Amino acid sequence: MYMQLQQLRYVVCVAEQRRFTRAASTLHVAQPSVSGAVAALEHELGAPLFHRDRNEVTLTGAGEVFLPWARQVLADCEAATGAVRDLLGLQRGRLVLGATPSLTTNLLPPVLASFRTDHPGLELTVHEAGSEDLVDRLEQREMDLAVVILPVDRPWVETSRLAEEELVLAVDHGHPLAARRSVRVAELENVPLVMFKDGYDLRVATLAACRRAGFLPVLAVQGLEMDGVLALAAAGVAAAVVPESVVAPSGPLRAVRFRGGALKRTIGLASRKDRPFTPAGRAFVDALESYLGPRSGPGGSAQAAVRVDPG
């Protein structure tokens, strides 16, 4: 039996798209090419892989058995290609990363600058979204790894802790709380807040802290991403709970700490358990750990984007 990788890619794509036409569009090939390649493979296997209905294509019993093997073969081939690229010194290749908006603002820029300097031939793509969306994309194999907010409770996800960062209340300099060194979460009960969009870790953390303090916060504006939240807070629209690192010391916002470090978040690295790091992914992790490492402990730089978690 002579089975081609192209046929396996077509089968996997048809199974995911549930239509030959959509699969062809996704693969950027003509629909007859996809149909012909799948039909030829079915002939070699001696069994149909799909039920071909007018509105949708579904897997047969043989297709359900075959699909995981096809995906594994493709994954193994990708890993083999990555190993060869490693021997070539990462002179070419592709790395797809994910990160939350606040991390793309303060943590990733210096890491990616160093990474690009060391590996200029690598094609780099960064997806920016909330941790939940990023983990969903990992599940769909759309990314190699993601820098997210922990915990992540998915059985197929491998995570490691990178750093811990304090959350603060960001207010403009004319805000009634701007002169305070710290506040208790309970004091936010009647303080209007600018709130992030659904699915963002900072929204979840803020609402959970308010519920633990026995109240629901007043939301002046909601549904925003990091840039919008910071801009509205700086304009005096309302206060916002944000990572300490996004509030510049000499900027338009003042960072008021929560008493006793009541609000913190843990930054971590997420990847698939069934998919080891590609050489490019390993190189990125090395760059990330190199950036964070010297900033750990009490002697770390005051300019560090995050504080490394000693645990």
Residues 6+ apart with CB under 8 A from 70: 8, 11, 12
pLDDT tens for residues 223-252?
Answer: 998 899 999 999 999 999 999 988 988 899
- Please state, in angstroms and rounded to a whole number, the distance separating the CA atoms of residues 3 and 40: 9
- Domain span including residue 26: 5-87
Residue 70 and residue 51 in one domain: yes
Residues 6+ apart with CB under 8 A from 231: none
Residue 108 and residue 78 in one domain: no
Residue 79 and residue 101 in one domain: no
Please say which residue of 24, 55, 87 terminates a domain. Answer: 87
Please say which residue of 37, 57, 87 terminates a domain. Answer: 87
Residue 114 and residue 183 in one domain: no
In the chain, which residues have pLDDT < 70? 1-2, 85-89, 91, 294-311
Indicate the pTM of the whole model.
Answer: 0.63
pLDDT tens for residues 108-154?
Answer: 999 999 999 988 888 899 999 889 899 999 988 889 999 999 999 89
Kindly report the number of other CB atoms within 10 A of residue 221's CB atom: 16
Kindly report the number of other CB atoms within 10 A of residue 174's CB atom: 8
Residue 112 and residue 156 in one domain: yes
Tell me the percentage of the chain whose pLDDT exceeds 90: 62
Residue 30 and residue 54 in one domain: yes
Residue 125 and residue 82 in one domain: no
> What is the separation of C-alpha 95 from the centre of its chain, rounded to a whole number of angstroms?
13
Q: What is the CATH number of the domain that holds 45?
A: 1.10.10.10
Residue 170 and residue 302 in one domain: no
Tell me the percentage of the chain whose pLDDT exceeds 70: 91
The number of folded domains in the chain is 3
Residue in 226, 183, 182 with CA at minimum distance from that of residue 202: 226
Q: What is the CATH number of the domain that holds 170?
A: 3.40.190.290
Q: What is the CATH number of the domain that holds 274?
A: 3.40.190.10
